[in-house]
Structure 1
Amino acid sequence: MMLIDRYIARSIAWSSLFVTLILLTLFVFIDFIGELGDAGKGDYGVVHALIYVVLTLPALLYQLFPVLALLGTLVGLALLANHGELMAIRAAGVSLWRILGSVSMIGLVFVVLSFVVGEWVAPKSGVFAEQYKSRLQSGDASLTKTKSGYWLRKKNNFIYVEGIADDGKPGGVDIWTIDDETLALTRSLHAEIAVPLAQGWQFNNVDTINLSMAGIERQNVRVMQWDDFPEQSLLIAASTKPEELSAYELFRYVSYLHNNGLQALAYEQTLYSKIVAPLTVAVMVLLAFPFVFGSLRSAGIGHYVFIGACIGIGFHLFNELFRYSGLVYGLPPLFSALAPTALFFVIAIISVRRIF
């Protein structure tokens, strides 16, 4: 039985690799054409655009994993069916349940790979890609800037950060402090750069304006220690798209947003999507099984590819529909993330039961 497991797994693995190379090549070409519109901004050229697209490949691979698992399993099993190998396996007394178990083993490998890419590889490469592009476009080799900076809140301090340096230090920091009772502005602070310490932060080249009933007082100091400032990891999370964060980073940032009374729905939805993603990959592998052993077992490879593409596109559209509906109508983020996968799981179970 171990020989059969390896044989089926090898067929699905090679088919998945082939499908992955084709789809990634296609999307790299499309993304590269789109990036050419930004070429010429600052020091960002055509070669840099290609490097940027390559750096975003892990994130693209993570997004395509459910479709790749579906197509790879379909094509791998279809090749075995068309060559009569599945029929020979059945004739040897191997049940459909046993073959499904063999398919599930390679499906588990896909799930683990999806988790590893989504939790470690894609977030790191995505952040590096955005920093790489931003530095070249801005012409600043030390500071990664966004188009309009980004905002944070820590208790009664409203914080604006212009960008993040290569070593993770925030630059161009502005802080406005509001009185808890009167909601009046009591202090305005600008620091050229913030340096993390063991306890708190050190602000360099600081301009401070204190406002009180006695008047306005302005100070300029080279160094100031500031304790009430977000952690460095939260600053990086605030400057990163939700999709480019790992599940752990999303969880910490969602907790920070909740603790400071800020809106966290978009980040919560992305967090639950990250959690559900490995389950989606497993469902897609399961969904491929009945198409090969059902009424299409005598069809050509093209039929299986077409069916897989239709299912993959349908799932993507359905998933996006629930995602944006959740944001617009305030649906529970767990429901928005889980509903499409749950629906396709039910379809897969019904389809599998029909062939047994």
Structure 2
Amino acid sequence: MTLFSRYLIRYLFTGFAAAAGLLLPLFSTFNLINELDDVSPGGYHWTQAVLVVLMTLPRCLIDLGPFIALLGGIVGLGLLSKSSELTAIRSTGFSVFRIAMVALCAGVMWAVSLGAIDEWVASPLQQRALQIRNVAMAAENGIDITGNVLWARRGNTFMTVKSLNEQGQPVGVEIFHYRDDLTLEFYIYARKATVVKDDKWVLQDVRKKQWNKGRETIESKASLPWNAFFTHMSLDVLSLPGNTFSIRQLNHYIAYLQQTHQPSMEYRLALWQKLGRPILTLAMILLAIPFAFVTPRSSGLGSRLAVGGILGLLLYISYQILVNLGLLFSLNAPLTALVLPTVCVMVALLLVRRYDRVR
């Protein structure tokens, strides 16, 4: 890597830092305002709301990664253009396309860094933050941690957990077992359960109904051992949204869902989004190149940032709409998550080529 390449990358990362310093406090303030709406004297305290916002800062950084790449690229290259250093660099033989490739290298470094943060920092912290929030809000009203229903299937047996208590133990366990002709053979309801091991549960306050040749029998027991068939991921994590999972957790859970013939579209889409977002980040930094080569007198840096912000917002909204449509209509997950970022990269490369020929 040449001296000029390192110099450009340093300025680009300075721009990334400036954009992150602007966007993170702004969006964190919005998140805090949203969290404070749920604060109450007997449950979710304001200190917990502040802690939740701080713990979700890495996730906010990941989500804003493409924005930061676009605005940071405009700032970094814009400063070089304003001081005529970009012109001086080009006079040494650096073409617009070569500058774009250096910017792309900086974008790859930025995307890889965000990917590492997402996998090992953002996902665990966000999961823990949501658990803290759910426990605090549940404690106020004396309700269970989550109202999300967890389902699992093995063969003709279906198992569902209504919610989890403060200790993360199942509450409201229902088990349905069907015969091969799809008639219900027995039904079990347990008020709660204790997880002894990953797949060893003890159902408590059990009521069992069984049907045999048109006859119904009802049996009540204080406890009943049961081999559960949820994945080895903890139940409190399974109750969280799929976009909070790490790549390792998503791969594990998707394999489990497919093995047990359960819907996995939401999680497959979340997995492919983790690849689509870095590609969109690279597209954004390439789109910053044309802004840098606008004649400095034609528009100030503030105007370029405003236009760049609008462009980034439109692309972000379009991407979210496309992803939600893919989830709604069960479209191909890789295609849904990658088509827009890939098209953006191609368009950005065409724009860079155009500027390279013109200038």
Q: Same fold (TM over 0.5)?
A: yes
* Equivalence for 2:354: 354
Counterpart residue number, 2:64: 64
Distance 1:146 1:201 in 2: 22
* CA positional deviation for 1:171: 4.7
Structure 2 letter corresponding to 1:62: I
Tell me the alpha carbon deviations over residues 232-288 of structure 1, each in whole angstroms, 9 at most, x when there is no partner: 317455311011112332233233333333333222222211222222212211221
Whole-angstrom distance in 2 between the partners of 1:290 and 1:215: 75
2:172 is the alignment partner of 1:203: no
CA-to-partner distance for each residue in 1:288-323, whole Å, 9 max, x for gaps? 123212556863211221122022111112112212
Corresponding residue SS for 2:204: strand
- Tell whether the 8 Å contact from 1:100 to 1:289 is kept in structure 2 after alignment: yes
Quote the Cα distance in structure 1 between the aligned partners of 2:64 and 2:75. Answer: 16
> Cα deviations across residues 46-99 of structure 1 (Å, max 9, x unaligned)?
222121122222222111101111111111000011011111222233343443
Question: What is the match of residue 151 of structure 2?
Answer: 151
Q: Is the 8 A contact 1:247 1:275 kept in 2?
A: no
Looking at structure 2, the residues matched to 261 and 282 of structure 1 have their Cα atoms a distance apart, in angstroms, of: 36
Q: Contact 1:173–1:194 at 8 Å: present in 2 too?
A: no
Change (3 A) 1:296 1:218: farther
Mapped to 2, the partners of 1:110 and 1:15 lie a distance apart of 12
Q: Is the 8 A contact 2:209 2:219 kept in 1?
A: yes
CA contact (8 A) 1:237 1:253 kept: no
Amino acid at match of 1:202: W
Structure 1, 157-166 or 183-192: larger mean CA deviation: 157-166
Residue 267 (structure 2) pairs with residue 270 (structure 1): no
Other-structure match for 2:231: 231
1:100 equivalent to 2:90? Answer: no
Separation in 2, partners of 1:260, 1:321: 30
Counterpart for residue 126 of structure 2: 126
Within a 5 Å distance, the mapping from 1:187-202 to structure 2 comes to 187-190=187-190, 192-197=192-197, 200-202=199-201
- Relative to structure 2, which stretch is displaced further, 295-304 or 105-114? 295-304
Q: Does structure 2 retain, via aligned residues, the 8 Å contact 1:178–1:187? A: no
Distance 1:253 1:183 in 2: 29
Q: What letter matches 2:75 in structure 1?
A: V
Residue 39 of structure 1: aligned partner: 39
**Distance apart, 1:328 and its partner CA:** 3.2
AA in 1 matched with 2:103: V
8 Å CA contact retained: 1:196, 1:232? no
| C-alpha contact (below 8 Å) 2:323/2:337 kept by paired residues | yes
**d(CA) in 2 for partners of 1:353, 1:191:** 66
Identify the residue that residue 180 of structure 2 maps to in structure 1. 180
- What corresponds to 2:55 in structure 1? 55
Identity of aligned residues (%): 28
Counterpart AA for 2:67: V
**Partner residue, 1:327:** 327
User: Given the two structures, how large is their TM-score scaled by the length of structure 1?
Assistant: 0.88
Change (3 A) 1:163 1:223: same
Query: What is the aligned partner in structure 2 of residue 18 from structure 1?
Result: 18
Q: CA deviation at 1:163?
A: 3.8
SS, match of residue 190 in structure 2: strand
| Separation of aligned partners in 1, 2:124 and 2:144 | 15
Contact kept, 8 Å, 1:326 with 1:332, in 2: the verdict is: yes
Question: Which segment drifts farther, 235-244 or 27-36?
Answer: 235-244
Greater displacement, 245-254 / 314-323 = 245-254
Pick closer, same or farther for the CA change 1:228–1:235 going to 2, 3 Å.
same
Please give the TM-score of this superposition, normalised by the length of structure 2: 0.88
1:218 is matched with 219
CA distance in 2, matches of 1:156, 1:25: 51
Relative to structure 1, is the Cα distance of residues 313 and 335 closer, same or farther in structure 2, using a 3 angstrom cutoff? same
> What whole-Å deviation, never above 9, does each CA across 1:15-47 have from its counterpart, x for those lacking one?
211211211111111111122221117421222
User: Hey, what's the Cα distance between the residues in 2 that align with 1:111 and 1:138?
Assistant: 37
Q: Which runs of 5+ in 1 are unaligned?
A: none
What is the CA–CA distance in structure 1 between the aligned matches of 2:294 and 2:355, rounded to whole Å?
6
Q: What secondary structure sits across from 1:203 in the alignment? A: strand
| Change in CA separation of 1:261 and 1:234 when aligned onto 2, cut-off 3 Å | farther
Equivalent position amino acid for 2:102 in 1: S
- Residue 300 of structure 1 corresponds to 300
Distance 1:330 1:161, change over 3 A: closer
Note if contact 1:154-1:228 (Cα within 8 Å) is conserved in structure 2.
no
In the alignment, is the contact (CA less than 8 A) between 2:59 and 2:118 conserved in 1?
yes
Alignment length (residue pairs): 354
CA contact (8 A) 1:234 1:253 kept: no
SS in 2 for 1:158: strand
Alpha-carbon distance between aligned partners in 2 of 1:46 and 1:116, rounded to the nearest angstrom? 30
Note closer, same or farther for the CA distance 1:275–1:126 as it changes in structure 2 (3 Å cut): same
Secondary structure of the structure 2 residue equivalent to 1:120? helix
Query: SS of the counterpart of 1:202?
Result: strand
- The Cα shift of 1:338 comes to 1.4
Query: 2: CA distance between counterparts of 1:297 and 1:332?
Result: 47
What letter matches 1:145 in structure 2? I
